[in-house]
Amino acid sequence: MNEADTRALVERYLTAFNASDHEAMLACLSEDVVHDTREGERQIGKEKFRWWLAENARHFREELADIIIMTAPGGVRAAAEFTVRGTYLATAEGQPEARDQSYRLQAGIFFDVDDDLVTRLTDCFNRAALKAQLEKG
């Protein structure tokens, strides 16, 4: 896969995220995708990712803005940096009580790509900053 194809794949994934189109997001992933979650867990497989998406959507409504995509030579890796604009909908474990708080965070995702699909993605953001914004209300 070349850099342009990898960029297009990442753009498709992020566009689907912003549209809350979980099926389109899943279509970008390999069956045995490795997901290093925001919570610090490693989950393997598309079905676990489907479950994670549903859980995340239950607690948070998020949109990504100011997106910058970087690709490695050969297109085997990519990274996206962005601003997460979100609303906290339902109380999540380890977080303050949800009261429809709004938040903004700088965040990113690292991607590994093979055979035109994402084989690994790692979510990165500052959990302490999120918690502080949710506590502040």
Which residue, 129, 97, 120, is CA-closest to 36? 120
Question: What pLDDT, on the 0 to 100 scale, is given for residue 40?
Answer: 87
Domain presence at residue 95: no
Residue matched to tokens 């297009």: 8
Domain presence at residue 99: no
Question: Tens of pLDDT along 66-117?
Answer: 999 999 999 999 999 999 999 999 999 889 999 999 999 999 999 999 999 9
Domain presence at residue 30: yes
CATH number for the domain harbouring residue 76: 3.10.450.50
Task: State the CB neighbour count (10 A cutoff) for residue 51.
Answer: 12
Domain presence at residue 60: yes
Question: What pLDDT, on the 0 to 100 scale, is given for residue 51?
Answer: 97
Question: What pLDDT, on the 0 to 100 scale, is given for residue 20?
Answer: 96
Q: Domain count of the chain?
A: 1
Which residue, 106, 96, 92, is CA-closest to 134? 96
Domain presence at residue 42: yes
pTM beyond 0.75: the answer is yes
Q: Determine what percent of the chain is predicted with pLDDT higher than 90.
A: 92
Domain presence at residue 63: yes
* DSSP per position, the chain: --HHHHHHHHHHHHHHHHTT-HHHHHHTEEEEEEEE-TTS-EEESHHHHHHHHHHHHHHEEEEEEEEEEEE-GGGSEEEEEEEEEEEE-SPPTTSPPPSS-EEEEEEEEEEEEETTEEEEEEEEE-HHHHHHHHHH-
The domain in which residue 75 lies consists of 3-80+110-125
Question: Tens of pLDDT along 9-63?
Answer: 999 999 999 999 999 999 999 999 999 998 889 999 999 999 999 999 999 999 9
Domain presence at residue 90: no
Domain presence at residue 53: yes
27-42: b or e for each residue (b if 16 or more CB lie within 10 Å)?
ebbbeebbbbbbeeee
